[in-house]
Structure 1
Amino acid sequence: MPSATYEQISLLPLTAEHVVGPEHLDVNGHMNIGHYFAFGGHAMWDRNRQDLGMPDSYIAERGLSTFTAEQHLRYLAEAVEGDEIGVHAVAVDAGAKAIHMAALITNRTRGQLACVMESIAVHVDFGTRRPVPFPDDVAALIAAAIEGDCVDIELPLSGAIAIRR
């Protein structure tokens, strides 16, 4: 199956929207790497909080959190001042103690996939700061997200990172 098109990606649930402002530009006149990183990272964190059972109270109430273990960013197209950016955060895969997510950052103005940011986050006991399995309720939400997020499309993943089995 060929990799997803911009049109297919744009139909995925939208996690965040931004407009590239002058504060996002680097000396080359396009959006700086740090802003792709921030937009993608925040969208994946928001997805965890809003849909995957790990709200802001997760640490205080359950003593659990996720720590980022690995990331990979791939840039496919530029974004310049005034371009509208969409971020689609999807759950890709999970193990008992880790989740693989991707933020598909689209340039909605130009109709292009601009960046794919992948992340592996490890689920930890906040007291010991050691990996622990996801609670059953959270694991069920993650499994449902993996099944539902991209069932009909081939994600444009790097192959550079994955859940270790």
Structure 2
Amino acid sequence: MSGQVFSTDIPVSEPLRVAEDWIDLYGHMNMVRYVGVFDDVGYRLLDRWGLGESYTHETKHGLFVVDVAVNYRKEMTVGTMLTLSLRVLEADGKRLLSLMELRRTDDGTLAATMEQLSIHVDLTTRRVVPFPEPVVLRLRALAEAHARTPLPAGHKRRLECRAP
């Protein structure tokens, strides 16, 4: 992994379509489906930085989510096309704070955001461990690069990358 070159661009998913089974009693995308999309697609986007499924299989380490802050901004209905982007807000030796943005593909409207604080865990001991140095350096470079892109209008940071 250390020999790989990773882009510092903010990755964006392939388009997703709001499925009929994502719709709730009120005729819009259920809140749990927003979080499900953030989790599933966000995890796949982590692969672009070498922290997804292959990292976990190769190192027996992974990211456990310890806190999230979701902001629902726009009602989504069946058939709506969306994309998800993922950026690094902060990272330290054991923690990663990221921001995911779910947007409509037709007009770029922000549908929801989710800040996510994760910890780096050794899956054999189930204990928090430091990221390997190349990973820390990569995450810090990503945070610096992503800080050049303004946060979504009206977004107020709610989580911090620090121990509770």
- The bucket for the TM-score relative to the shorter chain is 0.7 to 0.9
- Counterpart of 2:95 in structure 1 is 98
Aligned partners of 1:16 and 1:88 also within 8 Å: no
Is structure 2 residue 126 aligned with structure 1 residue 129?
A: yes
Does residue 162 (structure 1) correspond to residue 160 (structure 2)? The answer is yes
How far off is 1:110 after superposition? 4.6
Superposition TM-score, scaled by structure 1 size = 0.83
Offset of residue 56 of structure 1: 2.1
Question: Where in structure 2 are there 5+ consecutive unaligned residues?
Answer: 1-8
Name the SS for the 1:57 alignment partner.
helix
The answer for the alignment partner of 1:18 in structure 2 is 16
Counterpart position of 2:36: 38
Residues matched between the structures, number: 154
Percent of matched pairs sharing the same residue? 24
Q: CA RMSD in A?
A: 2.0
Residues 1:94 and 1:134: Cα distance change in structure 2 (over 3 Å): same
Q: Point out where structure 1 has 5 or more consecutive residues left out of the alignment.
A: 1-10
Note closer, same or farther for the CA distance 1:157–1:113 as it changes in structure 2 (3 Å cut). Answer: same
- Residue type matched to 2:95 in 1? A
Query: Which structure's relative contact order is higher, taking Cα pairs within 8 Å and 6+ residues apart?
Result: 1
SS in 1 for 2:15: strand
TM-score by length of 2: 0.83
Query: How far is 1:150 from its partner?
Result: 4.1
